């Protein structure tokens, strides 16, 4: 038999019944009722209802003390922030509701001088900004809060904020600032307690930066594996799945896709195989293994959110796509001295404009010795021997011209 749904009226009635003389058991019962109602609203995806709940029980916060009230508020807020709002207009509205809820709680904490609560809620707001891809606001708030936390020597919260600042900086293409923020987080993990969640977050961001800047995919894979184990150990399936996704990405970049079957068959990983994130990255891995540009482009189109909008993957998938396209072009034009652009595009399975741009880039990068005939819409490929001897012939011409100049100069002396 299912439990009777909790109502706001029942919660308010229970809160009103509490006084300074209430026993610990009574206060705990009231607290459990509040959290039960909050979870119920989260299941119903009612963020507005959760905000009403937070505002209507504020008399209870004074009764239980600052520390306990802070935890209660953070728990209720977290219930709201884990609500999946879907896609489209509902998603945009949900983002706004979540931001409004957090800013409302931050405002109350500030006006009531609940400084610890205010800072922890601001840290959560930074993470929310990153989650909804508002990286500019995330970075601005992170910078201000980091300065305050350094003065207070609140190392645990500083680690969390520094990791989020590193994420926003990476997504804003500021790798130098991303590295600096991550270094701050790592330094503080050496001198303060870091929860498994925090340590896994630090490992995850370390893997991201090693892969993006250093192109050290072996080290990145190790960091992502540590992050996966950390998130999995605390039941954080969402972040554990992301870590596994990036582990597979590293295997692609290391050209070790043949090892993926063994990796995904591991006991601790099997449960994650059906995740849309893993299905997406595996489709990219399969296309890369088969060296099929058509399948690779198809994978990016079908899994745009996971492979294109995720910058960690996009940084590498764009390079992979470019390299695969260039190899396909080289394969098609190799037997010819002149070939139509439309034929190349048709064989590769793409339209002419991106193929033409790729060929122009290859010519500029000296990967292809040739030229594009704009009038005939063809690619003229220079003979390899001519390309190799072009520099030698140029030097010979210069030497001959030098001799001519020297002879002419010596003859002019006789006219003086």
- Is there a domain that residue 155 lies in? no
Backbone conformation region of residue 215, classed left if phi is above 0, alpha if psi is from -120 to 50, else beta: left
Q: Name the domain boundary from 286, 306, 326.
A: 306
Mean pLDDT (whole number) for 30-34? 95
Which of the four pLDDT bands, split at 50, 70 and 90, describes residue 173? Answer: very high
Q: Could you tell me if 3 and 123 lie in one domain? A: yes
Percentage of the chain lying above the pLDDT 90 cut: 70
- Is there a domain that residue 98 lies in? yes
- Is there a domain that residue 270 lies in? yes
- And the tokens for 87? 């896609």
Whether 149 has a pLDDT exceeding 50, the answer reads yes
Among all chains, which residue has been given the structure tokens 């295997």? 251
Which of the four pLDDT bands, split at 50, 70 and 90, describes residue 408? Answer: confident
Mean pLDDT (whole number) for 11-28? 90
Which of the four pLDDT bands, split at 50, 70 and 90, describes residue 88? Answer: low
Inter-CA distances, 19 with 7, 14, 25, Å: 21, 11, 13
The whole-number pLDDT of residue 2 equals: 45
Answer for the pair 307, 330: CB distance below 8 angstroms, yes or no: no
Whether 65 has a pLDDT exceeding 50, the answer reads yes
The whole-number pLDDT of residue 350 equals: 86
- What CATH number corresponds to the domain at position 73? 1.25.40
Mean pLDDT (whole number) for 151-169? 94
Maximum mean pLDDT: which of 88-92, 131-135, 291-295, 411-415: 131-135
Whether 394 has a pLDDT exceeding 60, the answer reads yes
Q: Give how many domains the chain has, as a whole number.
A: 3
User: Poorest-confidence range of 25-34, 58-67, 332-341, 402-411?
Assistant: 402-411
Whether 291 has a pLDDT exceeding 90, the answer reads no
User: Poorest-confidence range of 50-54, 149-153, 392-396?
Assistant: 392-396
- Is there a domain that residue 16 lies in? yes
- And the tokens for 106? 């931050």
d(CA 297, CA 49): 43
The whole-number pLDDT of residue 232 equals: 96
Mean pLDDT (whole number) for 336-346? 92
Q: Indicate the pTM of the whole model.
A: 0.80
- Is there a domain that residue 268 lies in? yes
Whether 128 has a pLDDT exceeding 70, the answer reads yes
Whether 96 has a pLDDT exceeding 80, the answer reads yes
Whether 229 has a pLDDT exceeding 60, the answer reads yes
Answer for the pair 253, 217: CB distance below 8 angstroms, yes or no: yes
Q: Could you tell me if 227 and 288 lie in one domain? A: yes
Q: Encode 97-130: b = buried (16+ Cβ within 10 Å), e = exposed.
A: bbbebbeebbebbeeeebeebbbbbbbbbbbbbb
- Is there a domain that residue 184 lies in? no
Q: Could you tell me if 98 and 216 lie in one domain? A: no
Mean pLDDT (whole number) for 336-357? 91
Any idea of the CA torsion for 367, 373, 376, 380, to the nearest 10 degrees? -50
Cross-strand pairs, 340 = 378
Q: What is the pLDDT of residues 297-327, one digit of tens each?
A: 899 999 999 999 999 999 898 888 888 898 8
Mean pLDDT (whole number) for 65-78? 95
The whole-number pLDDT of residue 387 equals: 47
- Is there a domain that residue 404 lies in? yes
Whether 222 has a pLDDT exceeding 60, the answer reads yes
d(CA 260, CA 242): 16
Domain containing 291 equals 195-306
């Amino acid at each position: 038999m299912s439990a009777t749904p909790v109502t706001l009226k029942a919660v308010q009635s229970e809160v009103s019944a509490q006084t300074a003389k209430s026993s610990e058991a009574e206060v705990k019962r009231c607290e459990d009722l509040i959290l039960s109602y909050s979870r119920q609203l989260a299941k119903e995806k009612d963020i507005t209802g959760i905000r009403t709940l937070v505002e209507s029980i504020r008399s209870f916060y004074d009764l239980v003390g600052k520390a306990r009230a802070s935890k209660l508020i953070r728990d209720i807020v977290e219930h709201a922030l884990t609500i999946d709002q879907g896609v489209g207009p509902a998603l945009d509205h949900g983002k706004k509701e979540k931001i409004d809820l957090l800013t409302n709680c931050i405002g109350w904490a500030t006006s009531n001088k609940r400084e610890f609560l205010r800072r922890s809620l601001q840290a959560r707001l930074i993470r929310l900004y990153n989650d909804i891809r508002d990286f500019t606001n995330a970075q601005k708030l992170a910078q201000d809060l980091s300065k305050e936390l350094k003065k207070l020597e609140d190392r645990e919260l500083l680690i969390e904020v520094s990791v989020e600042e590193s994420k926003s900086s990476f997504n804003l293409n500021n790798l130098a600032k991303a590295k600096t923020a991550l270094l701050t987080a790592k330094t503080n993990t050496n001198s303060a307690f870091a929860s498994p969640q925090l340590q896994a977050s630090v490992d995850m961001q370390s893997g991201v930066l090693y892969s993006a800047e250093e192109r050290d995919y072996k080290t990145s894979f190790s960091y992502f594996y540590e992050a996966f184990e950390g998130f999995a150990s605390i039941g954080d399936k969402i972040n554990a799945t992301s870590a596994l996704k990036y582990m597979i990405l590293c295997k692609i970049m290391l050209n070790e896709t043949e090892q993926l079957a063994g990796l995904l068959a591991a006991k601790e990983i099997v449960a994650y195989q059906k995740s849309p994130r893993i299905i997406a990255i595996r489709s990219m891995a399969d296309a890369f293994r088969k060296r099929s540009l058509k399948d690779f482009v198809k994978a990016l189109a079908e899994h745009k959110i996971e492979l294109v909008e995720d910058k960690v993957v996009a940084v590498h998938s764009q390079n992979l796509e470019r390299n695969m396209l260039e190899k396909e072009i080289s394969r098609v034009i190799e037997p010819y001295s002149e070939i139509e652009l439309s034929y190349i595009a048709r064989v590769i399975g793409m339209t002419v404009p991106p193929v033409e741009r790729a060929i122009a880039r290859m010519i500029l990068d000296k990967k292809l010795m040739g030229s594009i005939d704009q009038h005939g819409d063809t690619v003229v490929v220079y003979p390899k021997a001519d390309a190799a001897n072009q520099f030698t012939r140029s030097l010979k011409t210069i030497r001959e011209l030098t001799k001519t100049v020297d002879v002419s100069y010596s003859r002019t002396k006789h006219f003086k």
